[in-house]
A and B are shown apart, each in its own frame.
Chain A
Amino acid sequence: MSECIVVTSGKGGVGKTTTTANLGVALALLGKKVVVVDADIGLRNLDVILGLENRIVYDLVHVIEGECRLRQALIKDKRVDTLFLLPAAQTRDKNAVSPEAMRTLVAQLKADFDYVIIDCPAGIEQGFKNAIAGADRAIIVVTPEVSSIRDADRIIGLVEAAELPEPQLIVNRFRAKMVKRGDMMNKDDILEILAIPLIGMVPDHEDVIVSANRGMPAVFDEKSIVGEAYRRIARRVNGEKDIPFVALEEPDTFWSVMKRWIGLAPSKEVAQ
């Protein structure tokens, strides 16, 4: 059974594209046949995050307008052979696509893939409506900030109005240290406000920037904590239960180790 998942947030810059890329790679590494679709027409970026920007010939708008066949527009990722990208058009705008056209496109993709993952543009306008049109469920990305959570609340309402099932939440850019000193909302604070199920916690980490620089999602790096967070999200998306969250432990610093060593601090605890 194949499924279409839209990754959305309302607010821009919270990590939708990074999430789409990493989730796509991680599901493909689990052996699933995956296509990631960039629905941000006019501002495409998923190609860059995946390091596939030099291989684009055709895009989503070409397919919808019948200028090429779907198969011609799909870019196969050479690093994991069950992953494909359908890029957005860069020189067109969101009005080149309609919700009906997206529904048709997604239905075609679902015939060939286990997972169709759509990277939704920021905002709640036409681009958002297009992106959610063919989706079976939504994943909402938030950062632990007032503005991001406010927009997510609005998006949850719109997702429910579109008659999709209850969306699931990824908390991104989580900083255990700030949570510990009470300067960042923890997962329970956020869940109390948004009241939807949590499917992932991703720590705020340099790996995200390094991997974006290289066009190599963190999931490919077995040692990356961000990669591990996304690998676990992929397993949850794929139906596995009871996988612990990675982002809750505070990373060791020189002093925290010293402090523990000389008995000034309790042994390592889970910060939330």
Chain B
Amino acid sequence: MSSLFDRLFSGGRSASGTGSKEDAKSRLKILLVHDQVDLTPNQMNAMKAEILEVIARYCEVDREHVDVRLEKADNGISVVSSVPVRRVTTRAVEAT
């Protein structure tokens, strides 16, 4: 009954709404950066792997939660990476 009531008084749309605009926005943000940079998904993956390789020489990396992406910054485009580290290896500590 309440759903019929809602439908009658809201022109057929659901009360909560589907909110697909957030999908549009997040897809656009990624799209626009990649349109400018022209890196293929393969190249992105290769870059990510190489970045990880370097970091892994010094730290024990939580590979499940690595995030490397391109983002629009105020003055161009940035590579933003978040690489969680389980622990810094002894070798790295010695090197400093």
Contacts and interface: CB of A to CB of B under 8 A. Distances in A.
Interface string A160-196: 0000000000000000010111111110010001000
Nearest to A189: B25
Contacts, number: 55
Interface in B18-76: 18-22, 24-25, 27-29, 31-32, 35-36
A150 B32 contact: yes
Contact of B24 (A146, A177, A181, A256): A146
B18 A182 contact: yes
Contacts of B9: 255, 258-259, 264
**Interface magnitude class on chain A:** 20 to 34
Given A177-B11, A255-B8, A255-B11, A182 B19 contact: yes
A193 B25 contact: yes
Interface of A: 145-146, 149-150, 153-154, 157, 177, 179-186, 189, 193, 253, 255-256, 258-259, 264
A182 B21 CA distance: 6
Q: DSSP majority for the A interface?
A: helix
A221 to B, nearest CB: 26
A182 B20 contact: yes
Contacts of A154: 35
Contacts of B28: 146, 149-150, 193
Interface residues of B, number: 21
Contacts of B24: 145-146, 185, 189
A149 B30 CA distance: 13
A146 B20 CA distance: 11
A193 B72 CA distance: 10
Nearest to B17: A181
